Amino acid sequence: MEQDSTLASEKKAPMLIVDEISVSYGHIQALKKISIEVYPQEIVVLIGANGAGKTTLLSSILGVRAPSSGKVVFEGKRIDKNSVDKNVRAGLCLVPEGRGVFASMSVLDNLLLGAHHNLANKDKNLARVYEWFPILRKRKDQIAKTLSGGERQMLAIARAMMSDPKLIMIDEPSLGLAPIIVNDIFDILVTLNKEGYTVLLAEQNAFKALKCAHRGYVLETGTISLSGPSSQLLNDPGVKAAYLGA
């Protein structure tokens, strides 16, 4: 289902502003003066090939790597020099590539870890998460290692919800999942968004991601090569050739 891209820009201020950040690993520049914006209640997708810099961008926003130049502003406050846990407490969270689930701990423990900074609301959030993902309630005492790929992805998203985030960043949610499950996951993301969560998502599976997003950015070797409403990107011949398997 395509989204209405005019949700962005006109009325509200952006929730997240990434302003010309550059990030290097030693001598290798992974991101070169990247700027993106995310408005409240949008789903924004970053598409690009492996190594284009999507994960670096998300982890830099989170605070794992400080950018060597530029700044990141979240809800009006600069966050690029903050530690990760400070940013998580401020309302950011990341569902990392590879699920971000602790395989040796139980489902419930994983969820409670998500609530590390938000234990006051844990009962309310647990109830909500179980309502959304009944399979997690069923498996709550099982070790996360025993979950299937799709269930782990659900757990990772549920874990993110436990912190009552304002912006959920997700890195490659479809990786390694069967197509049917991927559809389920993207449906969940759209529903989350309808509930009020803002989502910033990095995906190689450009077609499905653009279908459910409002806007998108195309990353190529550390720079933004294209951006715009998702419908526009879906019809762009360059994007089609490179990422939509036309």
Partner 1 sequence: MQVFIAQILNGLSIGSVYMLLATAFNLLLLVAMIIHFSYPQVVVFCMYIIWLVLKITNNNVFFGILAGVCSAILFNIVSAPLFQKIMKNREEVDINATMVLSMAIGWIITDVLSHAFNNGLPIQFPEEITGSKPLFRVGLISILPGQVLALTIGIIVVAGFFLLLYKTKTGRAFRAIAEDPAGAKLVGIPLVKTGFQSYALSGALGGLTAVLLIMLFHSASPGLGEQVSHKVLAVSIVAGLGNLVGGLVVGLALGILEALVQGYISGNWSNAIAFVVMLVVILVKPRGLFGVKI
Q: CB-side exposure of 196: number of CA atoms within 13 Å? A: 4
Of residues 37 and 151, the one with the C-beta less far from partner 1: 151
Residue 206 phi/psi, 5° resolution? Answer: -60, -40
Residue 185 engages partner 1 in binding (rule: CB under 8 A)? no
Which range binds partner 1 by CB under 8 A, 4-12, 42-50, 56-64, 198-206? 56-64
Residue 141 phi/psi, 5° resolution? Answer: -95, 0
Q: Which residues contact 127 (CB under 8 A, 6 or more apart)?
A: none
Residue 84 engages partner 1 in binding (rule: CB under 8 A)? yes
Query: What is the full DSSP assignment across 71-120?
Result: EEEETTEE-TTS-HHHHHHHTEEEE-TTTT--TTSBHHHHHHHHTTT-GG
Q: Which residues contact 207 (CB under 8 A, 6 or more apart)?
A: 234, 243, 244, 245
Of residues 92 and 210, the one with the C-beta less far from partner 1: 92
Bridge-partner residues for 16, per DSSP?
38, 74
Contact 94, 134 (CB under 8 A): no
Enter the tokens of residue 236. Answer: 């762009």
Of residues 103 and 178, the one with the C-beta less far from partner 1: 103
Interface mask (CB under 8 A) for partner 1, residues 19-48, using x and -? Answer: ------------------------------
Of residues 14 and 114, the one with the C-beta less far from partner 1: 114
Bridge-partner residues for 170, per DSSP?
95, 201
Q: How many residues of this chain interact with partner 1, rule: CB under 8 A?
A: 26
Of residues 109 and 220, the one with the C-beta less far from partner 1: 109
Interface mask (CB under 8 A) for partner 1, residues 92-121, using x and -? Answer: -xx-x---x-xxxx---x--xxx-xx-x--
Of residues 61 and 189, the one with the C-beta less far from partner 1: 61
Which residue among 3, 163, 174, 230 contacts partner 1 (CB under 8 A)?
Answer: 163
| Residues making contact with partner 1 (CB under 8 A) | 59, 62, 64, 83-85, 87-89, 93-94, 96, 100, 102-105, 109, 112-114, 116-117, 119, 159, 163
